[in-house]
A = this chain, B = another copy of it.
Amino acid sequence: MAMQAAFAASMFPQLAQRRGSDRAVVVAPPPPAPARVAMRSGGAAAAAARGVRCRASLIEPDGGRLVELVVPEEGGRREAARREAATLAHRVRLGRVETEWLHVLSEGWASPLRGFMREAEFLQALHFNAIRGGDGAMVNMSVPIVLPLGDAQRRAIEASGARRVALVDAADRPLAVLSDIEIYKHNKEERIARTWGTTAPGLPYVDEAITNAGDWLIGGDLEVIEPIKYNDGLDQYRLSPAQLREEFARRNADAVFAFQLRNPVHNGHALLMTDTRKRLLEMGYKNPVLLLHPLGGFTKADDVPLSWRMKQHEKVLEEGVLNPESTVVAIFPSPMHYAGPTEVQWHAKARINAGANFYIVGRDPAGMGHPTEKRDLYDADHGKKVLSMAPGLEKLNILPFKVAAYDTKQKKMDFFDPSRKDDFLFISGTKMRTLAKNRQSPPDGFMCPGGWKVLVEYYDSLTPSADSSKLREAVAA
């Protein structure tokens, strides 16, 4: 109950902020009417009643209620939390990826997790891709959400008998308090093997966040001092699961279908999303809403950066390829593992918590090339197969991707028709990137012109300058 009230209180400043920068791509909620404000601030009972009223048609979050770990603003509680954090003897510094996970946890994407994993949760994630909740039911949880700790700090914390530690950013500012802590071994080899199904060198997430990380992990319950912000001009797209649920309820969505992506949207994607909505309408839903949900956390060096992708997605909606009326664009704050069938479960599970009851899954989701062999790391079909069988995802409707390709006769992207397969041209992500890098145009109808222009601009921005090593790093592979 406290959390519900906390959420209602903490959400309003963000909504007000979003109104200021209203864009076509995100149809912001209207200003809250006084009556609703009154009801929302009417205490726990009213908040609960409101919860039932607004969200009756949305899928239930994992564990039955959405976890929200940001300290409520009222009563000076954030200031008090910040002061307490500053007094704690132990301060664990978070890197970029750990901060992204803090963000993920703070908003309940990983509900019912209430903090970085303790060992029991870590082992269940590794072995079962699922965690048993307090009620005995299994919720899906396929990737470890853990916080590494170096040996010196481990010994200091254990020697002091501390039960609470502060989590701080690169500038030593307190971000959160981790309490009732548990420290356990970070067996990196086993974690990597069980998560990726390989231990080959060169896995991007491993290089970024595991290889040089501490040999211990520290788990516990989180109190996050204030909402995580990036101040990169994109925070208004970073809607929490609670905010997304609010938005879907406001639109009276009776079905929400999520599309996870980390690439520019081409007309094949758009066709798929449009077609999905059509199918849902045919199934009898009155108002299916699309959650177009680009991943916003860590990605590998040769993926198109988030800011450029967001510009590209904006064009796709501006130019009418997707309908803004039935589309919500928001950023999913998770870092990317590139762990294929293991990770696609996390991508789906997190969207349940955001209110999605349909999930579109394509060929080789969250996959990549094998880092040391000339083949894809995962079988292209395993992602959707594993997703369809995953424990804890039974309530989610999985919508397998139909294959779209460029129809050279119709000059547009269309669903592949094997009976006239020679008419179709498959344009891979690599091919697309190569065209854009070389300022060449793709065939008409592959992508809306404004979206393509953004891509070309992005690659132009990488043109070798005095510091040519920078280019090599940014577009490696």
Contacts and interface: CB of A to CB of B under 8 A. Distances in A.
Interface stretch (A99-107, A183-191, A324-332): A183-191
A450 interface: no
A384 to B, nearest CB: 11
A398 interface: no
A206 to B, nearest CB: 13
A388 to B, nearest CB: 9
A124 to B, nearest CB: 6
Interface in A167-197: 185, 187, 189-190, 193-194, 196-197
Interface string A330-351: 0000000000011000000000
B123 A389 contact: yes
A423 interface: no
Interface stretch (A1-9, A125-133, A262-270, A295-303): A125-133
Interface string A134-167: 0000100010000000000000000000000000
Contacts of A138: 138, 391
A126 B379 CA distance: 14
Nearest to A370: B189
A35 B213 CA distance: 70
A143 to B, nearest CB: 12
A114 interface: no
Contacts of A196: 193
A342 B127 contact: yes
Residue from A132, A189, A196 having most chain B Cβ neighbours under 10 A: A189
Main secondary structure, interface of A, reads helix
A126 B119 CA distance: 21
Nearest to A194: B197
A131 to B, nearest CB: 9
A240 to B, nearest CB: 29
A423 to B, nearest CB: 28
Contact of A391 (B126, B341, B385, B391): B391
A363 interface: no
B198 A193 contact: yes
A232 to B, nearest CB: 35
Contacts of A129: 127-128
Given A130-B391, A391-B391, A385 B120 contact: yes
Contacts of A119: 385
Nearest to A377: B190
A199 interface: yes
Interface of A: 119-120, 123-124, 126-130, 132, 138, 142, 185, 187, 189-190, 193-194, 196-200, 341-342, 378-379, 382, 385-386, 389-391
